[in-house]
Amino acid sequence: MKVPFATLEHVHGPLREEMKNAFLRVYDKGTFIQGEECSLFENEFAEFCKSEHAVGVASGLDALALALRALGVSKSDEVILPSNTFVATALAVSMIGAKVVLVDPDPLTYNMTAESFEEAITPRTKAVIPVHLYGQAAEIEEIVDVARRYGIRVVEDCAQAHGALYRGKHVGTFGDIGCFSFYPGKNLGALGDGGATITDDEALAERMRELANYGSKVKYHHVEKGMNSRLDELQAALLRVKLRCLDEHIADRQRAAAVYLENIRNDRVTLPVVGSERNHVWHIFAVRCSRRDELKRHLEEAGVGVNCHYPITIADQQAYVEDGLVATPLARRLASEELSLPLYVGMTDDELRYVIDTINEFE
Ligand SMILES: *Cc1c(COP(=O)(O)O)cnc(C)c1O
């Protein structure tokens, strides 16, 4: 049997006609940038997250960079983020010339804690980027409390966590700005790159919209040196179709994850833990194993697709050598022990059973 690491077959198959109609609607209308579809998607996505405003942008990385810029983060400011996140979280900080400060995550949930964040604060700390990694909320309310005490701005990296909740409230709505990616493989994915920021602050939303549009609100009047980062009409129209199914898709991921959690039984394999007062939308089902590379080979030889998120920490990346960052101990350990199991919408009981049996046989 073969089980892919991920497939969009069961998401896109049933939506084929609707997606085609969305495409044709945009194609026939002939507006491809800054039209009605993007505004409608922004309203619908803000409503989904229970936020006041959403701004569609070109990618998750741009969303983070625009959020930092809109909050006034600039050169020589320090920005704290978890050392085990995807490199884009750090790249956004580097893009605007600020300094990356890495902290170790919680060993159970793999997310930044309020404690590790507070320990890393210096007089130069301007912002913090908690990441809701793998699809589970960090202890975001506690992190925001610490940030408010020190006058530090909070940008939430929600790229893996559309629909994730902490104490019943959507991630992205706790801090100043929430940032999302619609990369095709994310839980809500476009058919190309895309992203969005959400905020309750109208002035911040306007500022990000302007920065993403060459620093301009009125055509050919540029009040700031902005960039070009917009969510195009085609992606917005396609995302509107998929957004309507997002809750159903999250529930299906949760179904598959529950089967894993209940049936994987191998002392060599550490299962993920869901922290209290939150759900998990299972963008990634991350297990740990001290003999990770052997387990990876064992699964791949049996036809099971797996992945590592992420095999090299940010501090250990060649791109970051010049920054002189130090990899925190747990992040390094996760880099060598983490293994992501197949998890996608429409995974069958047979597929789940096969992955489970293959893991349980590993000795
Ligand atoms: C995917 C991802 C990003 C970047 O999003 P893109 O749309 O690919 O630019 C940022 N942070 C995290 C945690 C991600 O997983």
Each residue's pLDDT tens digit, 230-279: 999 999 999 999 999 999 999 999 999 999 999 999 999 999 999 999 99
CA neighbours closer than 13 Å in the CB half-sphere of residue 243: 20
Q: How far is the CA of 64 from the centre of ligand 1 (A)?
A: 9
Helix (H) or strand (E) holding 350: helix 349-360
Q: How far is the CA of 205 from the centre of ligand 1 (A)?
A: 20
Counting ligand 1 atoms within 8 A of each CB, the residue from 68, 81, 94, 160 with the most, and so the one to mutate, is 160
Question: Cα–Cα distance between 241 and 15 in angstroms, integer?
Answer: 8
**How much is the pLDDT for 313?**
97
Largest CA distance in the chain: 66
Q: How far is the CA of 61 from the centre of ligand 1 (A)?
A: 6
User: Which ligand 1 atom sits nearest the alpha carbon of residue 182?
Assistant: 7
User: Which ligand 1 atom sits nearest the alpha carbon of residue 131?
Assistant: 13
Residue 327 pLDDT exceeds 90: no
Q: How far is the CA of 1 from the centre of ligand 1 (A)?
A: 31
The whole-model pTM stands at 0.98
Percent of the chain with pLDDT over 90: 99
**How much is the pLDDT for 253?**
98
Question: Cα–Cα distance between 42 and 26 in angstroms, integer?
Answer: 16
Each residue's pLDDT tens digit, 117-140: 999 999 999 999 999 999 999 999
Question: Cα–Cα distance between 213 and 247 in angstroms, integer?
Answer: 31
CA neighbours closer than 13 Å in the CB half-sphere of residue 270: 14
**Rounded-to-10 torsion of CA 236, 241, 243, 246:** -150
**How much is the pLDDT for 109?**
97
User: Which ligand 1 atom sits nearest the alpha carbon of residue 88?
Assistant: 10
What residues flank ligand 1, with Cβ below 6 Å? 59-61, 85-86, 88-89, 131, 157, 159-160, 181, 183, 193, 195
Each residue's pLDDT tens digit, 99-111: 999 999 999 999 9
Which residues are within 8 A (CB) of 329 and not within 5 positions of it... i.e. 6 or more apart? 104
**How much is the pLDDT for 157?**
99
Residue 54 pLDDT exceeds 90: yes
Q: How far is the CA of 86 from the centre of ligand 1 (A)?
A: 7
Q: How far is the CA of 89 from the centre of ligand 1 (A)?
A: 7
Asked if 34 and 230 count as a contact pair (C-beta separation under 8 A), the reply is: yes
Residue 247: closest CA among 177, 336, 165: 165
Domains, the chain, in order of start with CATH, read 9-103+110-243 (3.40.640.10), 246-360 (3.90.1150.10)
Q: Token pair of 219, please? A: 């055509």
**How much is the pLDDT for 236?**
98
Least confident window among 80-84, 134-138, 323-327, 356-360: 323-327
**How much is the pLDDT for 150?**
98
Protein residue whose Cα sits closest to atom 2 of ligand 1 = 159
If one counts every other C-beta atom within 10 angstroms of the C-beta of residue 210, the result is 20
Asked if 196 and 171 count as a contact pair (C-beta separation under 8 A), the reply is: no
For strand 78-82 and strand 125-128, is the pairing parallel, antiparallel, or unpaired? parallel
Residue 64 pLDDT exceeds 90: yes
Rounded average pLDDT over 20-37: 98
Rounded average pLDDT over 159-181: 98
Residue 307 pLDDT exceeds 90: yes
Q: How far is the CA of 88 from the centre of ligand 1 (A)?
A: 6
Protein residue whose Cα sits closest to atom 14 of ligand 1 = 159
